[in-house]
Amino acid sequence: MISIKTDELSMMCLEEAEKYHRYTDKDLENATLIFMHFFMDKMYEKNVGKMSQKQMVQLAEEAGKGLRKMILKYTGKDMHEIVKK
């Protein structure tokens, strides 16, 4: 199950928080996909039964666009370009 590994990963990140890492664009892509996996699950959990499937798809698309925009603004990295590589 994924949640077991997330505890270990989060502790590793906290232990390394003050160090600079030279993460690659692939690392950014992987971290973003992991975040989106959990985020979409929680978004679904909050809205299931309250929205139609079409509305939930639209909400997911808006969330993805918002995350892409935030990553681009703060890192200068366009996730669409990274994924194409």
Q: Is the pLDDT of residue 84 over 80?
A: yes
Question: For residues 18-44, b (16+ Cβ closer than 10 Å) or e, as one string?
Answer: eeeeeeeeeeeeeebeeebeeeeeebe
Given a cut of 80, whether residue 3 has pLDDT beyond it is: no
Is 11 within a domain?
no
Provide the residue range defining the domain that includes 35.
23-84
Number of domains in the chain: 1
The CB density around residue 57, as the number of other CB atoms within 10 Å, is 11
Q: Mind listing the pLDDT tens digit for each residue in 11-68?
A: 888 998 888 889 999 999 999 999 999 999 999 999 999 999 999 999 999 999 999 9
Asked if the model's pLDDT at residue 76 lies above 90, the reply is yes
* Statement: residue 2 has pLDDT above 70: no
At 4 the pLDDT is 65
Domain membership of residue 15 (yes or no) is no
Residue 3 lies in a domain: no
Q: Looking at residue 5, what is its pLDDT?
A: 83
Residue 12 lies in a domain: no
C-alpha gyration radius of the chain: 15
Beta strands in 3-81, from DSSP E residues, in sequence order: none
Within a domain: 13: no
